[in-house]
């Protein structure tokens, strides 16, 4: 019997001939990631281990991005702590303000996540790297500390659900809509500690940005990982980004899956996830009420890449943000920021009345630069809409694609791109 993607990757990293769900392995990792919230705890635990150096200074990435630029004294002290750690251990991949971006945008951008690799990160959205055919998965800060010391981590091999997306997408339907629809179909615990493999012609036709959006939100269904087979698009994306060798480990044709779910994408409308869970999804055609918004957020590790900004700019061009709405755009990295600026997207945004931010996670987690007051509603291209996620527990967050977020900013209520004239 063949193996799934996650089984093949874990087997290769633990020198096993084959693995099955439930097996326990101690696997070598290719990259260990942390941010400004999770790394301080990892540093404290690392120091307790008693080793005097990290396992490989090239294989650790630390990105202060959640409260960046530092929003207060505590945030500044946390970053100062991990900055000193990075300098002491000569961590090559330490990226902060001026060079940084949102961790899950810049690691693929810089060629630090490759097909067939294992990347663990003390951040739940590390599953983003499954879009490149890698095993990316979130861990706790203590696991991060142990991996920085040993270069290894323990895994329980999860079963895999295979999703087959058939058909052709409608206009303005994107990877964000596919993953929101999927989470709405199986629920926020529908893939709990299971790997999700995204396959089918609709996935083959998605851009790398669209694939990263889908893999990014696997965790919102409880998934251990969200994997997409590496193909020609993956290889084209990686050209010029890395000098490292890598081995593609796609699923065997006779791999055994716990479940196979087929989805006809031609029936999917642009999706909106209502408060306060990502599974509360509706197609735009199912919304029978006018939901007025006070804020529209376009960006994050889910939708802060150049394609996302282009989609938003196409809709906002020649338009004005509604006077009752604050529209925020925050590019996922310095490179995305510069490219958007050079393409004239910032001119479009600013002329429309949009505020353009430096790269940061701030608005997504209610950290800063976009906090909601009680009673306010926001439409956002981020990944979570829990109670109080973006500010007051009395506020509400609706999740959607960049196209819907941009159109809604113009109309002042949740709207589709076809409503913008």
Mean pLDDT of 150-156: 98
CB count, 10 Å around CB of 327? 25
Q: What is the C-alpha to C-alpha distance for residues 299 and 279, in angstroms, rounded to an integer?
A: 20
Q: Is the model's pLDDT at 1 over the cut of 90? A: no
Cα three-residue angle 86-215-343, rounded to 5 degrees = 75
CATH fold for the domain made of 272-416: Aconitase; domain 3 (3.30.499)
Q: What is the C-alpha to C-alpha distance for residues 385 and 396, in angstroms, rounded to an integer?
A: 7
- Reported as a single tens digit per residue, the pLDDT across 212-255 is 999 999 999 999 999 999 999 999 999 999 989 999 999 999 99
CB 160 within 8 A of CB 194: yes
Mean pLDDT of 185-197: 97
Mean pLDDT of 8-33: 96
Cα three-residue angle 221-225-230, rounded to 5 degrees = 125
Q: What is the C-alpha to C-alpha distance for residues 257 and 73, in angstroms, rounded to an integer?
A: 49
- Reported as a single tens digit per residue, the pLDDT across 281-320 is 999 999 999 999 999 999 999 999 999 999 999 999 999 9
- Reported as a single tens digit per residue, the pLDDT across 155-185 is 999 999 999 999 999 999 999 999 999 999 9
Equal fold, 5-263 vs 272-416: yes
- Reported as a single tens digit per residue, the pLDDT across 343-362 is 999 999 999 999 999 999 99
Check whether 127 is labelled as a binding-site residue.
no
In the chain, the N- to C-terminal Cα span, in Å, equals 55
Residue 76: the pLDDT is 96
- Reported as a single tens digit per residue, the pLDDT across 80-110 is 999 999 999 999 999 998 888 999 999 999 9
CB 309 within 8 A of CB 331: yes
Can you identify the CATH homologous superfamily of domain 5-263? Aconitase, domain 3 (3.30.499.10)
Name the burial class of residue 61, with classes exposed (0-12), middle (13-18) and buried (19+) by CB atoms within 10 angstroms of its CB.
buried
- Close Cβ partners of 109 (under 8 Å, ≥ 6 residues apart): 101, 241, 333, 335, 336
Residue 99: the pLDDT is 86
Check whether 361 is labelled as a binding-site residue.
yes
In the beta sheet, which residues pair with residue 282?
272
Task: List the structure tokens of 312.
Answer: 């938003």
Q: Is the model's pLDDT at 421 over the cut of 80? A: no
Residue 175 sits at φ, ψ, to 5 deg, of -55, -35
Q: Is the model's pLDDT at 65 over the cut of 90? A: yes
Average pLDDT, the chain: 97
Q: Where are the domains of the chain?
A: 5-263, 272-416
Q: Is the model's pLDDT at 70 over the cut of 90? A: yes
Q: What is the C-alpha to C-alpha distance for residues 312 and 276, in angstroms, rounded to an integer?
A: 24
Q: Is the model's pLDDT at 193 over the cut of 90? A: yes
pTM: 0.96
Q: Is the model's pLDDT at 327 over the cut of 80? A: yes
Residue 107: the pLDDT is 98
Check whether 301 is labelled as a binding-site residue.
yes
In the beta sheet, which residues pair with residue 198?
163
Q: What is the C-alpha to C-alpha distance for residues 312 and 329, in angstroms, rounded to an integer?
A: 9
Q: What is the C-alpha to C-alpha distance for residues 128 and 304, in angstroms, rounded to an integer?
A: 13
Closest CA relative to residue 314, chosen from 323, 306, 322: 306
Residue 233: the pLDDT is 97
Q: Is the model's pLDDT at 136 over the cut of 80? A: yes
SS (H, E, C) the chain: CECCHHHHHHHHHCCCCCCCCCCEEEEECCEEEEECCCHHHHHHHHHHHCCCCCCCCCCEEEECCCCCCCCCHHHHHHHHHHHHHHHHCCCCEECCCCCCECHHHHHHHCCCCCCCCEEEECCHHHHHHHHHCCEEEECCHHHHHHHHHHCEEEEECCCEEEEEEECCCCCCCCHHHHHHHHHHHHCCCCCCCCEEEEECHHHHHCCHHHHHHHHHHHHHHCCCEEECCCCHHHHHHHCCCCCCCCCCCCCCCCECCCEEEEEEHHHCCCEEECCCCCCCEEEHHHCCCCCECCEEEEEHHHHCCHHHHHHHHHHHCCCCCCCCCEEEEECCEHHHHHHHHHCCHHHHHHHHCCEECCCCCCCCCCCCCCCECCCCEEEECCCCCCCCCCECCCCEEEECCHHHHHHHHHHCECCCHHHCC
């Amino acid at each position: 019997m063949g193996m799934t993607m996650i089984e093949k990757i874990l087997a290769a990293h633990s020198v096993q001939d084959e693995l099955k769900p439930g097996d326990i392995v101690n696997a070598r990792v290719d990259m260990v990631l942390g941010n400004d919230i999770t790394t301080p705890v990892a540093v404290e635990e690392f120091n307790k281990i008693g080793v005097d150096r990290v396992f490989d200074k090239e294989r650790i990435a630390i990105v202060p991005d959640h409260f960046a630029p530092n929003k207060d004294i505590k945030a500044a002290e946390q970053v100062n702590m991990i900055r000193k750690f990075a300098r002491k251990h000569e961590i090559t991949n330490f990226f902060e303000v001026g060079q940084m971006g949102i961790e899950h945008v810049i690691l693929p951008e810089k060629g630090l996540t490759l097909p067939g690799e294992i990347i663990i990160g003390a951040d739940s959205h590390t599953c983003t790297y499954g879009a490149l055919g890698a095993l990316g998965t979130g861990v706790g800060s203590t696991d991060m500390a142990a991996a920085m010391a040993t270069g290894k981590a323990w895994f329980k091999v999860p079963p895999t659900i295979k999703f087959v997306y058939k058909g052709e997408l409608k206009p303005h339907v994107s990877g964000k809509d596919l993953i929101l629809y999927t989470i709405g179909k199986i629920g926020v615990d529908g893939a709990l500690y299971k790997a999700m493999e995204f396959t089918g012609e609709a996935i083959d036709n998605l851009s790398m940005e669209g694939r990263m959006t889908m893999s990014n939100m696997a965790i919102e269904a409880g998934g251990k990982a969200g994997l997409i087979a590496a193909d020609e698009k993956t290889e084209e994306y990686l050209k010029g980004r890395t000098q490292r060798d890598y081995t593609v480990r796609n699923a065997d044709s006779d791999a055994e899956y716990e479940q196979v779910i087929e989805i006809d994408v031609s029936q999917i409308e642009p999706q909106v996830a209502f408060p306060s869970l990502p599974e509360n999804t509706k197609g735009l055609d199912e919304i029978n009420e006018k939901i007025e918004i006070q804020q529209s957020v376009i960006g994050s590790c889910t939708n802060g890449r150049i394609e996302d900004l282009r989609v938003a700019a196409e809709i906002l061009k020649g338009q004005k943000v509604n006077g009752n709405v604050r529209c925020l755009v925050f590019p996922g990295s310095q490179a995305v920021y510069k490219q958007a600026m050079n393409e004239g997207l910032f001119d479009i945004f600013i002329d429309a009345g949009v505020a353009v931010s430096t790269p940061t996670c701030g608005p997504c987690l209610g950290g800063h630069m976009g906090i909601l007051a009680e009673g306010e509603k926001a439409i956002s291209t981020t990944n979570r809409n829990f109670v109080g996620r973006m500010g007051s527990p009395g506020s509400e967050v609706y999740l959607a694609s960049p196209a819907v977020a941009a159109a809604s900013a113009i109309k002042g209520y949740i709207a589709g791109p076809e409503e913008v004239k």
